[in-house]
């Protein structure tokens, strides 16, 4: 019985590993070409020479502000619809995300400051995600920079992993 359970556990583990998307090493991916300048919709948090953009430096404290905004929004949503918990929570989350983004934007100097201090941009969040992973993921502050950039561009938070998984499949 014990041997059967061990074999079953091993089979499940191997099956799960085989079905999980394989993420390629950053160097194995072809980075999308950025737009030189700030004409795109999404500004790169890194400059053309691979350093952190000035707006990122200015916004190191933005994560804390975005967290506070999300908490306050959730509290406001709960009060708004105390008798309907699901709707109140959903409204609170939406308000919190909006307040979090606005707080993060304010702490980095606003959208105009971001644009004025960016020399690379992208028209799609997928291109930004793959470019950042392929070109900048070895940067010592990558996790913090990614977190801040996801606060500024919330669709990067949900699109980051799927974009890299798709680029990894294309690289095979």
In a domain, 12, yes or no: no
In sequence order, which residues have a C-beta less than 8 Å from that of residue 22 and are 6 or more positions away? 168
If one compares 100 and 155, the residue with the highest pLDDT of the two is 155
If one compares 167 and 108, the residue with the highest pLDDT of the two is 167
pTM greater than 0.85 (yes/no): no
Confidence of residue 89 (pLDDT cuts 50, 70, 90): low
Confidence of residue 82 (pLDDT cuts 50, 70, 90): low
Residue listed under structure tokens 């967290």? 67
List the 35-36 sheet strands across, edge first. 35-36, 120-122, 42-43
Q: Which candidate, 65, 59, 72, 129, places its Cα nearest to that of 103? A: 65
Q: How far is CA 128 from CA 61, 69, 72, 144, in A?
A: 22, 25, 30, 16
pLDDT at res. 18 = 53
- Mean pLDDT confidence for 33-37: 98
Q: Which candidate, 119, 117, 108, 116, places its Cα nearest to that of 153? A: 108
Half-sphere exposure of 137 (CA within 13 A, CB side): 16
In a domain, 16, yes or no: no
If one compares 151 and 88, the residue with the highest pLDDT of the two is 151
Q: Judge whether residue 42 has pLDDT over 50.
A: yes
The per-residue b/e assignment along 127-155, b for 16 or more CB within 10 angstroms, e otherwise, is bbbbbbbbbbbebebbebbbebbbbbbbe
- pLDDT (tens digit per residue) in 93-141: 555 566 777 888 888 899 999 999 999 999 999 999 999 999 999 999 9
In a domain, 76, yes or no: yes
In a domain, 90, yes or no: yes
In a domain, 20, yes or no: no
pLDDT at res. 63 = 53
- The number of folded domains in the chain is 1
pLDDT at res. 84 = 55
In a domain, 40, yes or no: yes
In sequence order, which residues have a C-beta less than 8 Å from that of residue 13 and are 6 or more positions away? none
pLDDT at res. 172 = 87
Its domain, for residue 78, covers 35-171
In a domain, 160, yes or no: yes
If one compares 76 and 24, the residue with the highest pLDDT of the two is 24
In a domain, 129, yes or no: yes
Indicate the average pLDDT of the chain. Answer: 80
Confidence of residue 71 (pLDDT cuts 50, 70, 90): very low
């Amino acid at each position: 019985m014990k041997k059967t359970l061990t074999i079953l556990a091993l089979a499940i583990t191997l099956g799960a590993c085989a079905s999980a998307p394989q993420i390629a090493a950053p160097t194995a991916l072809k980075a999308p070409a950025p737009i030189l300048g700030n004409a795109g919709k999404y500004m790169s948090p890194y400059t053309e020479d691979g350093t952190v953009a000035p707006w990122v430096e200015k916004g190191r404290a933005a994560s804390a502000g975005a967290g506070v905004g999300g908490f306050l929004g959730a509290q406001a949503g709960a009060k708004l619809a105390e008798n309907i918990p699901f709707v109140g929570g959903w409204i609170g989350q939406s308000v919190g995300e909006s307040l979090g983004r606005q707080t993060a934007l304010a702490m980095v100097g606003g959208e105009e400051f971001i644009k004025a201090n960016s020399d690379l941009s992208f028209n799609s969040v997928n291109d930004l995600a793959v470019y950042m992973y392929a070109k900048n993921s070895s940067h010592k502050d990558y996790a913090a920079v990614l977190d801040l950039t996801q606060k500024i561009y919330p669709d990067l938070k949900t699109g980051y992993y799927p974009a890299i998984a798709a680029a990894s499949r294309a690289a095979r």
